[in-house]
Chains A and B, each alone.
Chain A
Amino acid sequence: MKALRNYLDTIKPNFKEGGKLSMFHSVFEGMETFLFVPNETSKSGVHIHDCSDSKRAMIMVVLALLPALLFGMYNVGYQHNLSIGAVDTGFCMTFIFGFLAVLPKIVVAYVVGLGIEFAVAQVKGHEIQEGFLVSGILIPMIVPIDTPLWMIAVATAFAVIFAKEVFGGTGYNVFNVALITRAVLFFGYPAAMSGDKVFVRTGDTFGLGAGQVVDGFSGATPLAQIATATTTDTQMVNIIGDPVTMMDMFIGLIPGSIGETSKLAILIGAAILLISGVASWKTMISVFIGGAFMTAVFNLFGTTAAMCMTPLDQLMLGGFAFGAVFMATDPVTSARTETGKYIYGFLVGTMTIIIRVLNPGYPEGMMLAILLLNVFAPLIDYYVVDANINRRIKRAVKSTNA
């Protein structure tokens, strides 16, 4: 650590005004404050600082995402092996297959997103913001494994520019950037983002794991099976036709977007987020309550397979848990008032189920529900604040009259 600090101090003059590398000063600043908490103090007035600045908070989110990401990699390998009927290749080979399949996506998302962020910061003379640290790891986790890399690059660039930089950069965005990326992919390249061909990699990865797909293979996710089901008592099956158990859903051995399948890993991530205080438990819990509530309502007069799913199934499948824990709780785009968080979360949960159940075209509704509620978050906050003001005025009037 000491050596690193000394090294930074020796190269620092190059990036100062007039130094030969001064054009990269924001890059240097970004790296320096990433590695060390800055020791600059405010020059006017009194400010209270928390030692956990936004760079530290972002790192907590990335740490919380790691279990889901690592399991996602394993699951990519597992589903692949299942699809080609490979005999058990051992934990390591399975993981390595998934790791090699997922890694390029992470690299592409980071290179494109950070490249744009660095360029904009450089041109505008801003500091480099850390927001993309989280978006960059979220993006590969919420896409199907077979999404082409160039599509991810295009969508990431579009989202970072139009959903973030034009609004003023990190902290000013109205929409969750990672979800906008996914939405661009979803509407721009529907064939690569949905259906039963994209969620399981059947081909090889860098020459690893080549093989023939077994008979009876179907890459449809459980939610897609429900959306296309014709009877109400449809049995969800995995990709080779065996029934899906609740344990499979919880552990995450089902096809789906890379990071969303394992509820166990998401639970670990949720614990990290809540203990470190980065995410709000109010938003998180109310998303689940909203989802369960709406499912129960649909169960009352269920006529289709989607309507008849139990609340537990709805919450365990697809991106519901992932969205509730990592997306809905985004402090920038969700409601900020404490009461608002309950309302926001509840509406995210209900909207997700409504979209899932009533729109057969979209088996999954989490992305659209969160983006929709992102728009309403400021409105929710406005009315919560307004209600509070009115309540206090009433109280003040009463006490002066008394």
Chain B
Amino acid sequence: MGKLFSSKNKEVLFSPLSKNNPVVVQMLGVCSALAVTAKLEPAIVMAISVTVVVAFANVIISLMRNTIPNRIRIIVQLVVVAALVTIVSELLKAYAYDVNKQLSVFVGLIITNCILMGRLEAFALGNGPWESFLDGIGNGLGYGLILVVIAFFRELLGSGTLLGIQVVPQAAYDFGYVNNGLMILPPMAMFVVAAIIWAHRAKNKDLQEN
């Protein structure tokens, strides 16, 4: 067990949560972070889906890394990812149809999510399956964390609900409070991402570019 969670592996698992976050530091997967975060529920489902896909794609590619001819590696990666995405998509259709409708094309588009190709190219091709699995989980969770934070603010301020449950009391509406319609629109997600990056860089000064 000790070997499985050595300090290096811990680094692989946890650094994507903050210092090496795929969305706010590596700037990957921003497109879907804007598109699926109007409500908390689809954001969570999306986060889980991406985590599962990236973790298992990493493992599979890592297992095959010594046999894949270098020139066709992108095609092989795409086939693996496409297979996994199809499985996830079918599972969602079977067990979470409403959310699947809300996510619409974005489940299928996980295949084009830059995080996937980025991690496969940068990590899985050069590391063992266990490390690759941890890397996939870490990056999926790092992505998911940002998604959930964005969706939390957007759903709270845009719809007054969280996970579909009314949290802003009726008294506030009676008093004149109105939900901010801009929060539902994708541009506002951009501002929320920007604000997260702002706060993140302010805290981690070593990430600031000059």
Contact = CB atoms under 8 A, between A and B. Distances in A.
Interface of A: 148, 150-151, 154, 162, 166, 184, 187-192
Given A150-B177, A166-B198, A188-B180, 14 more contacts: A148-B178, A151-B178, A154-B180, A162-B191, A184-B182, A187-B182, A187-B185, A188-B181, A188-B183, A189-B178, A189-B181, A190-B181, A191-B178, A192-B178
Contact of B180 (A148, A162, A166, A189): A189
Nearest to A183: B182
A221 B182 CA distance: 24
Interface of B: 176-178, 180-183, 185, 191, 194, 198
Nearest to A150: B176
The interface residues of chain B, by DSSP majority, are classed as helix
Contacts of B194: 162
B183 A148 contact: no
Contacts of B198: 166
A184 B157 CA distance: 14
Contacts of B177: 150
A31 to B, nearest CB: 30
- Which of B176, B182, B185 is most buried by chain A, counting CB atoms within 10 A of its CB? B182
A151 B179 CA distance: 10
A187 B198 CA distance: 24
B191 A187 contact: no
Contacts of A151: 178
Nearest to B158: A188
Nearest to B191: A162
- Which of A154, A187, A188, A189 is most buried by chain B, counting CB atoms within 10 A of its CB? A188
Nearest to A149: B176
Nearest to B185: A187
A182 to B, nearest CB: 12
A187 B181 contact: yes
B96 to A, nearest CB: 31
A282 to B, nearest CB: 32
Contacts of A154: 180
14 contacts: A148-B176, A148-B178, A150-B176, A150-B177, A151-B178, A162-B194, A184-B182, A187-B181, A187-B182, A187-B185, A188-B180, A189-B178, A189-B180, A190-B181
A348 B185 CA distance: 25
Contacts of B183: 188
Contacts of B182: 184, 187-188
A154 B178 CA distance: 12
B102 to A, nearest CB: 22
A81 B21 CA distance: 59
A295 to B, nearest CB: 30
